[in-house]
């Protein structure tokens, strides 16, 4: 959705093409079921504990990605591409 923090867009762009059907299904549920998109960001950055229902391999991938993003952002300025999400 348009409120999702850039983390999810960046993750999707990099990881979705390599995911299995099962992982895509988990990802789809993860981004569509929580009532607040920022919850996903807090879980991924470990600011809040992830609820058991969303604790799966995709959430683990997102957490790893969040850690890498933090490191990369110190090395480069993030580009503005994520501001222009393709229409669904």
Tell whether 58 is covered by a domain: yes
Q: How many distinct structural domains can be found in the chain?
A: 1
Tell whether 4 is covered by a domain: no
Q: How confident is the model at residue 1 (pLDDT cuts 50, 70, 90)?
A: very low
List the one residue out of 6, 1, 82, 66 whose CA is nearest residue 34.
1
Residue 2 scores a pLDDT above 60? no
Tell whether 62 is covered by a domain: yes
| Tens digits of residue pLDDT in 20-71 | 999 999 999 998 998 788 899 999 999 999 999 999 999 999 999 999 887 7
- Domain ranges, residue 22: 17-68
Tell whether 50 is covered by a domain: yes
Q: What is the value of pTM for the model shown? A: 0.73
Tell whether 81 is covered by a domain: no
Tell whether 76 is covered by a domain: no
Tell whether 2 is covered by a domain: no
Tell whether 83 is covered by a domain: no
Residue 75 scores a pLDDT above 70? no
């Amino acid at each position: 959705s348009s409120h999702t923090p850039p983390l999810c867009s960046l993750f999707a762009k990099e990881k979705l093409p390599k995911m299995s059907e099962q992982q895509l299904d988990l990802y789809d549920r993860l981004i569509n079921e929580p009532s607040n998109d920022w919850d996903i960001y807090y879980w991924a950055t470990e600011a809040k504990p992830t609820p058991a229902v969303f604790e799966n391999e995709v959430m683990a991938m997102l957490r790893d990605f969040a850690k890498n993003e933090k490191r990369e952002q110190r090395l480069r300025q993030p580009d503005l591409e994520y501001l222009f999400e393709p229409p669904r």
